Structure 1
Amino acid sequence: MLRVDTLRITPQILSLIARIDEFKGAWRALGALAPDRLSALRRVATIESIGSSTRIEGSRLSDREVERLLSNLAIRSFETRDEQEVAGYAELMDRVFGSWQDIPFSENHIKQLHQILLRHSEKDSRHRGQYKTHSNSVAAFDESGVQIGVVFETATPFDTPRLMSELVAWVNDEREKGQLHPLLIIAIFVVVFLEIHPFQDGNGRLSRVLTTLLLIQAGYAYVPYSSLESVIELNKEAYYLALRRTQGSIRTNAPDWQPWLVFFLQSLAEQVRRLEKKIERERIVLAALPDLSLQIVEFAREHGRITMGDAMKLTGASRNTLKVHLRNLVERGHLSLHGSGRGVWYEIR
């Protein structure tokens, strides 16, 4: 069983939890934006989360490419491994955001979520939704792709079912008792889940979606509007270092939870800081822009870009009037201009 009696609640950890919970409590007031503004924020955060989480695992698709792929998910045909991973991650996030209240935290549901994650991955068809049957220790590779050593030994396929059963039972017991702070429960779950590495593939991506699910279920309702995955991507080396430092001691008599807890809570605090900054920017935009300019900015934020033709259809204003508004938006730093001539388009900076 997990040894959490070695968990030290330091002033740093207390301060980070207080910071995150303060924002959680204030979200209803801070997030009092119009539904279409919240929808636009969520769309941007979702694109960032999908792009970052898949790139952490080796994908090369940019956020712009992810956005284009999401607009064509209905095609149900994806040529590359990267596209398959993005499509699965997008569908899983959509399921979590839409049905989080109806997803019990159980092994069966974790397996179902894994199946959705790898739904479009052809090479994973035999093992999606099932615990691993082969060793999947984390290895290091040289620049040519040749394995040069094992970085971390994960649980054996034989031990995985027992360890996952114990982990899920621990999470549910702690959530029911209410003695350990929810953020600490979630942090410990994530690091142990990745130490077990229960599935043949997709463990990192699934761990980040499960983090989102557990946070929303714990009342952190702002989570869909700011990407935690993008915070982790920008600090990927520190992410792996914190995981390894804690994971190496989990099965000992004195687990060192501190490295991972501090990184995890710092990442959540940065997620909050980013969202606060976005909300403040939204308020400034709302207060300072003319209605027509505001319509343009809202369209660009929701759809990823806007052209002159889009702006004319949206507002009914003349080309000359719109040129003035678009030029002012570029000069004031709200939009960036791309292309030339009739191919000009704009996106949010």
Structure 2
Amino acid sequence: MFQEEWQPLNIGLLLHLHRLLWSETAYPGGQLKTDDNLVVDRSPDGSTTVRFVPVPAARTAEYLTDLIERYRAAHADARHHPVLLVGLFVLDLLAIHPFADGNGRVARALTNALLIDAGYEVCRWVSLEQLIADSADQYYAALLRSTDDWHDDRADPWPWLSYFVDVLASAYQVFARRAASDRSGGTKQDRVRTHVLRHAAPVFRLADIRTALPGISDQTIRLVLEELKGERKVSPEGTGRGAVWRRMPEL
């Protein structure tokens, strides 16, 4: 998507991407933050807890320039795995937090572009954004652990990198399941049944089936799940958004 636009990687590209992401809103995208910002947790009662203090606004351009130069040099040197370099770039970008709003969205869009450039093109077909949203608790926990002592240059990047690599691996697993499903033939109901019984996790959501089998309606998925429920091969648990299905052990 950004393959022609993001070369070379520079601050101008980040501003351009930020502007594109906000182009359909009234928000003035395409500019670095002018005031210092904080990364906070908001409780249901409205109170906030500071999770991280990003780089001051006055030094944002300086830090971004240094980050981009270090990434490009490390990428050209080719001594380290490109996935780790992309993960480290994203970690530092989120720690710098260069925009008043939209930092996560810019970081995830750049993640796609940098991974594609490094030859990891799975994000063309599988949404890393959705995988991150589905594992939001792990995302924030890993980010919190790896930004601790970041300003003192003593942060441990491995909690974040482990999470980052796991998300990418999950994307390839989703892609493999979709490819296997497409080769399986049969009706749409047959494909749902095969996926649920052979490929789905022991506990899964309807949304997981929808993601794994694009082009098959929720109505068809629900129909098959009800049939499998009647056959005592799956069992529903919970209701609403929290509802899941559990595959039953074979007798």
TM-score (normalizing by structure 1)? 0.53
Inter-partner Cα distance in structure 2 for 1:141 and 1:202:
17
- Residue matched to 1:100: 3
The question of whether the paired residues in 1 share the 8 Å contact of 2:142 and 2:160 is answered with yes
Question: Matched residues in 1 for 2:39 and 2:115: separation?
Answer: 27
- The equivalent residue for 1:195 is 95
Go from structure 1 to structure 2 and tell me whether the alpha carbon gap of 1:139 and 1:305 turns closer, same or farther (over 3 Å shift).
same
Q: What CA distance in whole angstroms lies between the structure 2 residues aligned with 1:210 and 1:175?
A: 15
Kindly indicate which of the two structures has a greater share of residues assigned to helix.
Answer: 1
Q: Deviations over 1:79-103 (max 9, x none)?
A: xxxxxxxxxxxxxxxxxx2x41342
- The SS at the match of 1:159 is helix
Structure 1 stretches lacking a partner, 5+ long? 1-96, 294-299, 307-325, 334-349
> Is 2:18 aligned against 1:114?
yes
Measure how far apart 1:301 and its partner are: 4.7
Q: Is the 8 A contact 1:101 1:217 kept in 2?
A: no
Paired residue total: 201
Q: Which residue of 2 aligns with 1:204?
A: 104
Q: Which has the higher contact order (CA 8 A, sep 6+)?
A: 1
User: Where do 4+ consecutive residues of structure 1 move more than 4 Å?
Assistant: 329-333
Counterpart selection for 1:218 from 107, 118, 124: 118
The aligned residue for residue 44 of structure 1 is none
Whether 1:263 aligns to 2:163 is yes
Unmatched tracts of structure 2, length 5 or more: 192-212, 226-251
Aligned counterpart, 1:134: 35
Q: Does the aligned pair in 1 maintain the 2:6–2:13 contact within 8 Å?
A: yes
Please give the secondary structure, in 1, of the residue aligned with 2:3: helix
1:238 aligns to 2:138 (yes or no): yes
Q: Distance in 1 between matches of 2:20 and 2:174?
A: 29
Q: How does the TM-score come out when normalised to structure 2?
A: 0.73
User: Which range moves more in the overlay, 230-239 or 193-202?
Assistant: 230-239
State percent identity of aligned pairs: 27
State the superposition RMSD in angstroms: 2.6
Q: Does the 8 A contact of 2:5 with 2:13 survive in 1?
A: no
Cα distance 1:187–1:301, how it changes in 2: closer, same or farther (>3 A)?
closer
Q: Secondary structure at the match of 1:101?
A: coil
Tell me the distance in 2 between the aligned counterparts of 1:241 and 1:264.
12
For 2:99, what is the secondary structure of its paired residue?
A: coil
- Partner of 2:65: helix, strand, or coil? helix
